[in-house]
Chain A
Amino acid sequence: MLSEFFADFQLDLSRAFADGVHFWVFLAALVYLWFAEKKWRKPLVYPVTVLIILVCNPWCYYHVWPKVVRYAYSRLLWVVPVVAVIALACVSLVRKAKNLCLQGVLILILALAITRIGPYMYVQNFDDFISPGYYAKAENAYHLVGNVVTISEKLLELDPEPMVVCDTSYSPFMRLVSPKIHLYAGRYGFNVRTKKEKKMLDALVRSEPNYKWIRKRMIKDGYTYLMMLEWHGAPDVVCPYGFELLDQAQDITGSVVYLYRVQE
């Protein structure tokens, strides 16, 4: 039971504080403050201890918090003042040294130690079990991938309210450029609301999409533009079914995206 709790708890810690080490350093810092700063015991150490007992005990973890925060227990861990308590312990340690040089040395040692307890923030890749993301230099003021902005603007040039059927990782971002862009369906596997949307998305993600059916469906539902990834939507495959190639760009994933228009 307890080992199971620690395994689950460590997973949540890694979501809330990057790798979970911070929490154990925080506990050590709290113990240090209990001994070193007697005047902070009542205002800080005791209430924080009550907080930890309530938030991090196995019984509440399995029986109370799932009902309150559902799947997002890791977010509940944000209320534990990890950053503040570690920083307070560091400052307290520095203040214990009376000599200015010794204080400087202590600051450097502590600063170096902090760099070892967690991953550096400004890295390129972020892991998340639901939605991995990446960090990069911004290409425009929107903070969106440049091609998303370019192709969205192209669509808006062609049509003030373009109706788009889309199978690329562009789709969720295009509506951040303009809400005038209408999409057939939301993100595959996440925000699909109707059976009709699901049927279309299922048709789009196949290795050999049925473009005859897709075209028929698009015309029936008033959609004009189709965006497909190269691996199953290259012009030689799509155009014979009554689509006209308008433009191409690079997708966020690196492969090519083609923009087509339905020919009447």
Chain B
Amino acid sequence: MLQVIMTIFILLLLPLATGHVLAGALGLYPERNVSGLAFRYLMGYVLPWAIFEAFGPLMIRAMTTLDALILAWGITYVVILILCFMIARKRMGSGSFSAQGRLAGENVQRIPGNRKKGIRQIWASMNRTEQVTTVLLIVLVLAMLGWQIWRSVRYTYQNLDDPTFLTPALDALDTNTMFRVDSDTGHMLDTIKGTGRRRDTIAPFQLYIATLSKMTGVHATILAHTVLSPFLILAGYAAYWCTADVLFEEDYRAKMLFLLFAGEILTFMGGATRAQGVAALIRTWHGKSIVASVMIPAIFSVLLLYGKEKEKRKALSVILFLMSGASCLLSTTGVAIIPALIGSFGLWYLISERNIRVILPLLFTVLPSVASAALYFLYG
């Protein structure tokens, strides 16, 4: 029972609270609407991942214990949350950063999320037919999500590559070391140089799984294969919702229809282990799968917003920086491909606005990838 409570707290409530505080501090989506909720949920995962990446590779190189890494990560996470909470309160005026997430302050930065009507107002502005179709679409979206989540929990995917990705988490928990055990055999090694997958040490998502396992008390294999999947599938759809939000704004029916089509396209993208659809719905817990199905759509949505909301580019750069850092934790694939995505958009903004300053914040956002690549070439 305690494990269930801890799992729900750590994988659902804590991310929502983290995202809420972070969004408040950055002045993004402060009103209580669905887009704000999706964004907060997403950022609630991104922030702890980015913090973990800030410590992980260096502490692995320093050959510290897993406990030391968890402690450093935990303290930093809490300190950043407190700082974000204080900034959010200051930004929104005293007392206005309430549990309902409403705001009244005049000094709030305004982006589309702020301008949105509340759900009740939107509902009231619809005619009867629109209300019926909206309810129908909500039911269809929930049914699709429920079905895909049920499949992820009830079914399994067996691939000889998979144990290689997860055993470092179990070894770390067992020995309180990081990448010091040959994960294929269980032999203790004198140095991390001896492990076969040295590149994992710059993208140590397995150790994050070990951390979650330690915090929830759930066996790392069960956590990764069974428990994480539903939460990651939700995060993927939250990212797609954010994309739809930028383009469809207050047309909720269009946004839900978009989710339905996106979900169907992913469902009919099977058959190959590396397909994006398989990453999103079956091999969900792999770091590279999370990059493909959560981080890339999320970064894409923020980049769309970056082009649209010019006055909010600093805040969006911070979000992109965190997402870039989180992608580096998840997989070396993230380290390599996220700059290509951000760089392409940066190039377009440079061409369209003919101003070098427009891409300076974007250069800042790829620093985590540059740092990870430098570590890779230094130690890889």
Q: Across the two chains, which residue of chain A brings its CB closest to B239?
A: A84
A111 / chain B contacts, CB cutoff of 8 Å: 261, 264
How far is the CB of B244 from the nearest CB of chain A, in Å? 8
User: Interface on A for B, CB 8 Å cutoff?
Assistant: 14-19, 22, 40, 42-44, 46-47, 50-51, 54-55, 68-69, 72, 74-76, 78-79, 81-84, 86-88, 90-91, 94-95, 100, 107, 110-111, 114-115, 117-123, 126-128, 130-139, 141-145, 169, 172-173, 175-187, 190-191, 193, 197, 252
How far is the CB of B281 from the nearest CB of chain A, in Å? 6
Q: Is the CB of B345 within 8 A of A51?
A: yes
- Contact among B155, B276, B340 with A54 in the assembled complex (CB-CB below 8 Å): B340
B265 / chain A contacts, CB cutoff of 8 Å: 22, 82-83, 86-87, 114, 117-118
- Contact among B158, B173, B186, B261 with A182 in the assembled complex (CB-CB below 8 Å): B186
Q: How far is the CA of A172 from the CA of B182 in the complex (A)?
A: 12
Among the 9-residue stretches B8-16, B82-90, B266-274, the one with 4 or more Cβ atoms under 8 Å from chain A is B266-274
Q: Is the CB of A175 within 8 A of B183?
A: yes
Q: Is the CB of A126 within 8 A of B337?
A: no
Q: Is the CB of B345 within 8 A of A176?
A: no
**Is B243 in contact with chain A by the CB < 8 A criterion?**
yes
Q: Taking chain B's interface residues, is the majority helix, strand, or loop, or is none over half, making it mixed?
A: helix
Given A91-B258, A176-B166: A121 and B281 interface contact (C-beta under 8 Å):
yes
Q: Is the CB of A75 within 8 A of B219?
A: no
B303 / chain A contacts, CB cutoff of 8 Å: 47
**Is B123 in contact with chain A by the CB < 8 A criterion?**
no
How far is the CB of B374 from the nearest CB of chain A, in Å? 14
Q: Is the CB of A128 within 8 A of B247?
A: no
Q: How far is the CA of A128 from the CA of B189 in the complex (A)?
A: 32
Q: Is the CB of A121 within 8 A of B278?
A: yes
A75 / chain B contacts, CB cutoff of 8 Å: 274, 288, 292, 333, 337
Q: Is the CB of B261 within 8 A of A135?
A: no
**Is B361 in contact with chain A by the CB < 8 A criterion?**
no
- Contact among A55, A128, A172, A191 with B273 in the assembled complex (CB-CB below 8 Å): A128
Q: Is the CB of A120 within 8 A of B344?
A: no
Q: Is the CB of A175 within 8 A of B167?
A: yes
Q: Is the CB of A51 within 8 A of B270?
A: no
Additional A-B contact list (19), CB under 8 Å, known A47-B344, A121-B277, A127-B273: A17-B269, A18-B275, A22-B269, A42-B352, A44-B247, A79-B344, A81-B297, A90-B261, A107-B257, A115-B268, A126-B157, A127-B272, A138-B153, A138-B226, A141-B226, A145-B158, A178-B170, A180-B186, A187-B184
Given A69-B337, A126-B278: A181 and B186 interface contact (C-beta under 8 Å):
yes
Q: How far is the CA of A16 from the CA of B261 in the complex (A)?
A: 19
Some 18 contacts from A to B, beta carbons below 8 A apart, are: A15-B274, A69-B333, A72-B336, A75-B288, A81-B243, A81-B296, A87-B261, A119-B268, A126-B272, A128-B273, A135-B158, A135-B282, A142-B225, A142-B226, A172-B164, A175-B163, A175-B167, A176-B167
Q: Is the CB of B347 within 8 A of A54?
A: yes
How far is the CB of A240 from the nearest CB of chain B, in Å? 28
Q: Is the CB of A94 within 8 A of B257?
A: yes
Q: Is the CB of A76 within 8 A of B272?
A: no
Total interface residues on B, using CB and 8 Å? 90
Q: Is the CB of A130 within 8 A of B171?
A: no
Q: Is the CB of A126 within 8 A of B271?
A: yes
**Is B202 in contact with chain A by the CB < 8 A criterion?**
no
Q: Is the CB of A143 within 8 A of B156?
A: yes
Q: Is the CB of A47 within 8 A of B267?
A: no
7 nearest A-B residue pairs (beta carbon): A186-B184, A133-B159, A119-B271, A121-B270, A143-B225, A51-B344, A143-B156
Within 8 A of A (CB), among B207-259: 219, 221-222, 225-226, 240, 243-244, 246-248, 254, 257-259
Q: Across the two chains, which residue of chain B brings its CB closest to A191?
A: B184
- Contact among A76, A88, A141, A173 with B340 in the assembled complex (CB-CB below 8 Å): A76
Q: Is the CB of A110 within 8 A of B269?
A: no
Q: How far is the CA of A142 from the CA of B166 in the complex (A)?
A: 12
How far is the CB of A93 from the nearest CB of chain B, in Å? 10
Q: How far is the CA of A187 from the CA of B185 in the complex (A)?
A: 9
Given A47-B344, A75-B292, A138-B156: A186 and B185 interface contact (C-beta under 8 Å):
yes
B161 / chain A contacts, CB cutoff of 8 Å: 130-131, 133
Q: Is the CB of A122 within 8 A of B170?
A: no
